[in-house]
Amino acid sequence: MATPLQTLTTPRRNKLLAFLDNDDFARLEPSLQHVPLDFQQQLYDYRQSVSHVYFPLSGVVAAMRTLSDGETAQVASVGNEGVVGYGALIDAPVASGRAIVQLPGEALRVETAAIQSYALEHPRFRAVTMHYGHILISHLMQSVVCHQFHSARQRYALWLLQTHDRAHRDTFRLTQEIVAQSLGVRRATVSDIARDVQQTGAIEYRRGVITVRDRAALMAQACECYDSMQEEYARLLNVPDSGA
Ligand SMILES: [Zn+2]
């Protein structure tokens, strides 16, 4: 159920919306609905028309792709640093993957037609979304090299750090199946890695609930891709005040 925006204390916790000045945000605000992101809620299916675009405030939405034999893998994920339904912002309102809520949270939702006309009238917002598209491509490129050269344990630590950033809390529920699909490894491998990482004191893992105990220790076990992706985000989303 949607919650009135005025009950939100920080409606611009989404980093893309935070780039809008107060006047531009005020013009968008009447079109925004505050909605929960429920665990395993499907926002779109692959190639389905995108009726709404979501700006997460917390939680994680994963984009999944499935092969003809049913094998499914995560190809990207979005938290409060981005937007779900990016294609709709560049006039391609057909989902390029199945969007599933992996970690519950909340989002600001807007109808595709409304955000498209808003983008036409607001060059700064258009510039922010263009820069974000560049970030998406850059992160996908980093993921390719990461999968090729970095160990499953390094990628597990990287993935947990990113999830921690997006969760805005230290404890979150994650099934081994979700982690396995996200990393492209078997569940037994996830179990082994979780045990090893727990032994370093970085996390505590109990019955599908992960608590980040020592973030610095977790960072020490992640590959360089975490820092690289963070730097790329800051560098590429440096949108000039003058807009497009
Ligand atoms: Zn990596």
Listed residue (60, 56, 73, 26) closest to 180, CA to CA: 73
pLDDT category, 244, cuts 50, 70, 90?
very low
Q: Give 224 Cα–ligand 1 centroid separation in angstroms.
A: 6
223 neighbors 146 (Cβ within 8 angstroms): yes
Arithmetic mean of pLDDT over the chain: 90
Q: Give 227 Cα–ligand 1 centroid separation in angstroms.
A: 10
pLDDT of residue 241: 61
What whole-number distance in Å separates Cα of residue 102 and Cα of residue 38?
A: 9
Report which DSSP code applies to 77: E
Q: Give 53 Cα–ligand 1 centroid separation in angstroms.
A: 29
Please state the pTM of the whole predicted model.
0.89
Mean pLDDT of 26-55: 94
Q: Which amino acid is at 110?
A: V
Mean pLDDT of 90-118: 92
Mapping DSSP to helix (H, G, I), strand (E, B) and coil, where does residue 41 land? Answer: coil
Residue 196 pLDDT > 70: yes
Phi, psi for 233 (deg, rounded to 5): -60, -50
- Rounded to a whole number of angstroms, the distance between the first and last alpha carbons of the chain is 35
Q: Give 30 Cα–ligand 1 centroid separation in angstroms.
A: 40
Q: Give 157 Cα–ligand 1 centroid separation in angstroms.
A: 9
Mean pLDDT of 29-42: 95
Strands 203-206 and 209-212, how do they pair? antiparallel
Tens digits of per-residue pLDDT, 152-181?
999 999 999 999 999 889 999 988 888 998
Annotate 193-236 with DSSP letters as a single string: HHHHHHHTTSEEEETTEEEES-HHHHHHHS-THHHHHHHHHHHH
Q: Give 17 Cα–ligand 1 centroid separation in angstroms.
A: 28
Q: Could you tell me which residues come within 8 angstroms of residue 192 by beta carbon, excluding any fewer than 6 positions away? A: none
Residue 119 pLDDT > 60: yes
Q: How far is CA 149 from CA 27, 65, 160, 189, 224, in A?
A: 46, 22, 18, 17, 11
pLDDT of residue 2: 54
Tens digits of per-residue pLDDT, 127-137?
999 999 999 99
Q: Give 149 Cα–ligand 1 centroid separation in angstroms.
A: 7
Tens digits of per-residue pLDDT, 50-86?
999 999 999 999 999 988 898 888 888 999 999 999 9
Q: Give 131 Cα–ligand 1 centroid separation in angstroms.
A: 23
Q: Give 5 Cα–ligand 1 centroid separation in angstroms.
A: 38
pLDDT of residue 144: 93
16 neighbors 55 (Cβ within 8 angstroms): yes
Q: Give 197 Cα–ligand 1 centroid separation in angstroms.
A: 16
pLDDT category, 34, cuts 50, 70, 90?
very high
pLDDT of residue 136: 92
pLDDT category, 243, cuts 50, 70, 90?
very low
pLDDT of residue 240: 62
Annotate 91-134 with DSSP letters as a single string: T--B-SSEEEEEEEEEEEEEEHHHHHHHHHH-HHHHHHHHHHHH
Q: Give 221 Cα–ligand 1 centroid separation in angstroms.
A: 11
Residue 9 pLDDT > 60: no
The tokens describing 7, both together, are 């009950």
